[in-house]
Structure 1
Amino acid sequence: MRLPGGWELPEKIIQRFGQKGAGRQRAMVADGHLLLVLHTVPAPKTDEREPMFFWRKPTGEWIFTGKGDGLNGLRKHVQAYEDAAQKMGAAYKHAANAEDYFTILDDLVPLFHSARNLHATLQDAREGIPEDRDIIDLRDAAYEIERDLDLLHADSKNALDFSMAKQAEEQARIGMQELKSARRLNMLAAIFFPLTAIAGVFGMNLPHGFEHAPVAAFWSVFIFGIILGIFTCKWVTK
């Protein structure tokens, strides 16, 4: 977007524009003229910035690239940032997990940067046209928006860090429980492994001399297998 062709601005201001577009947000003052190059509220998931021009003539009359009165257009422009900040604040209040906080930060960062540049631009305009009290009021409003977004950014980042730390702690707790369960299973397997091996040997369909052994022999083998399993368990878990 370029300057409207019918705007009769001082050459000092016109020469500060490049050939590719409006550029960053800034205030330019020359010969009593003030030109504000501002960006609309950033759209989510995009790096594109839509510029708007606000021209204050030496007479105090405001003109802008939208429709209607220029000063009211500038007020609505600042109010749009206020509305966006309130919307982000409402999203923060309803956030419940790390994904929610990450989404908020993803949308909040470009808005915060743009609001900070808006405040800096209006501060420069205040210094360039010190007698205009409307600029002072708008500068103060932009400062409040920047401050609110700064606090919201800090709160969202802290909430994200806390949520991620809580998830990591929960995963560590679950991992410890799984480790304990695996240890118990290994102990049971170690205890019954010798008994299972002995039972498998004596259960083969081959003559081994114990086919007609008394019941006491069975219990002796069983107890021996359990004792051997206990020693195996101690060796495995040592």
Structure 2
Amino acid sequence: MSEVLALDKVEKGFSVGGHRVEPLRGASITVARGDYVSIVGPSGSGKSTLLHVLGCLERPDRGVVRVEGTETSSLSDEALSTFRGRVLGFVFQRFHLVDRMSALRNVAMPLDYRDDLTLREKTERSQHALSQVGLDSHAEHRPRQLSGGQQQRVAIARALAVRPRILLLDEPTGNLDPETGASVMRIIETLQGQEPDLAVILVTHDMDLAARATFSYRLEQGQLRRVPPVGEGIR
């Protein structure tokens, strides 16, 4: 197995109202290139904390996070930010688009911090990413001129423009109606088929959505437990 991301006995906690909360208590998972993984759990189970640790947005209190063979604890905050921006793509439930910017500019935003790319390369990457989600004709539209599904497709394009090794999806259909949500997931799954080395990690509470993944895990009591494959359902 060609490992692209791994957590080894990761612990993460924080204080809320004077009380210690520990959403991750020895969580471990290994993801290989090309894997399509879903992680489910009820509200409050720690899925957001897990996603932040998986995406190197937060450091664990204990344990090891390894991405592309690099132990992230060895990186300074600045180096980690640069590393994250070149390896990981994020798609959130809330689209997080900047309304004053065109779709193309929104897609290009993560590339603004890349000093290894020319302006032309950044523009070409952004245009290609929009075409991948079928929105090349909407490049100059602003978010308010787009439907919810189109806004989420722009958010997907923004993640793809990075050309990530790992795509992290945080309830990507949560703000969409079922039909639009299914359409968005088909786009993501088609894109992964075109990029066989791309690992996709879906964090969701939607059991039907989770069942589309090749491998599924449940987050409970701070740990990740493998659950039956798609054909056997997730219960």
Q: Which has the higher contact order (CA 8 A, sep 6+)?
A: 2
Q: TM-score, normalised by structure 1?
A: 0.22
User: Larger radius of gyration, structure 1 or 2?
Assistant: 1
Q: TM-score, normalised by structure 2?
A: 0.22
Tell me which protein shows more helix as a share of its residues: 1
Tell me which protein shows more strand as a share of its residues: 2
